[in-house]
Amino acid sequence: MTGDTPPPPPLSELRERAQVVALPMRTHFRGIDVREVMILEGPEGATEFSPFPEYGDAEASAWLEAAIDFGWHPAPEPLRDSIPVNATVPAVAADAAAGVLERFEGCRTAKVKVAEPGQRLADDVARVRAVREIMGPEGRIRLDANGAWNLDEAEHAVHALAEFDLEYVEQPCAGLDELAELRRRIRYLGIPVAADESVRKADDPLAVARAGAADLLVIKAQPLGGPRRAAAIVAAAGLPAVVSSALDSSVGLAMGAALAAALPTLDYDCGLGTAALLAADVTAEPLRPVGGSIPVRRVVPDPALLDAYAVAADRRAWWIARLERCYEVLTARAAR
């Protein structure tokens, strides 16, 4: 754990309270069609542990730290009771964009995925053009490349997409030096650069701010150890923040909403509307956007849904083993 955080609950308690589900998605996204998550029940309510399967134990342990933070400790004091959110448009064909946006009721900002492996810049241009036509001139459009472009590719792509009046471009390149140089090259266009992976996957999440490599930060509660630790990172960075999800269930989205509610300012719509991308959830009252916002509240899982979408025994065993390994990482770190 970090700082003066109390020690985690006993591992046996976590194991006993763990329920693992596989939630089908409406659209292929981030290379997956089903999202597996572990739901835990703590003294403060339901919480989520859901690092993606390919993440190693060291990285995934921060997600367990977040689950414990949200489930076993009070959330930060909220400054607002609802969070404005953006729509998220996966790397779908341009003619499918309208169907995706319909699921994000009232959202006036859209994050559009670009630089998808196997696609071309022309596909990105067509998708972003379709979103702009649907949202009209007053809608806000931001791009997310997940660090897939090199510096020259990013510069070329930003020029090709600038005509669509971009709010910002998120993680266009993977490295800090590339981000800083791209930011310098496109400054005259007035398109800010946001950092995501350079924050949540970095040994030092503040390095991107010190390097002058981004205009704003995309912050996710789970990968950064929970609402309290993530809020401290935002405060130390001194940059505007967009609180986003990691394709969580509504339980994980409630954690992100608790973080967003505690920040002194929210200059941008948050990426916490992604329950709309799921075909099923763990609650009968999912945190889907209504009027462009989601409420700040604890989510209560529905036992019938947890049972209906429970994973097979071998997948549950895989997740329990992962929980145990990540717990060892956390306790070893706390002992140092």
Residue numbering of the annotated binding site for Mg(2+): 144, 170, 196
DSSP string, 74-103: PPPPPS-SEEEB-EEE-S--GGGHHHHHTT
* Residue 24, phi-psi category: left (phi > 0), alpha (psi -120 to 50), beta (remainder): beta
Binding residues: 144, 170, 196
Choosing from 35, 103, 142, 220, which is the catalytic residue?
220
Strands 87-89 and 82-84: unpaired
Give me 137's structure tokens. Answer: 């001139």
Q: Which of 35, 111, 113, 228 is catalytic?
A: 113
C-beta of residue 242 within 8 angstroms of C-beta of residue 271: yes
Q: How far are the Cα atoms of 97, 114, 124, 298, 334 from residue 117, in angstroms, in the given order?
A: 18, 9, 11, 36, 39
DSSP 1: -
How far apart, in whole angstroms, are the C-alpha atoms of residue 298 and residue 287?
A: 10
- Per DSSP, the three-state class of 7 is coil
CA–CA separation, 115 and 120 (whole Å): 7
Token readout for 8 is 């985690």
Annotated catalytic, 220? yes
Which residue, among 135, 86, 84, 82, has the nearest Cα to 109 in the 3D structure? Answer: 86
Rounded to an integer, what is the distance from CA 79 to the centroid of its chain?
A: 21
The reply to whether 111 belongs to the active site is no
Reference 330, options 80, 6, 105; nearest CA is 6
- Residues 172, 263: Cα–Cα separation, whole Å: 25
Residues catalogued as catalytic: 113, 220
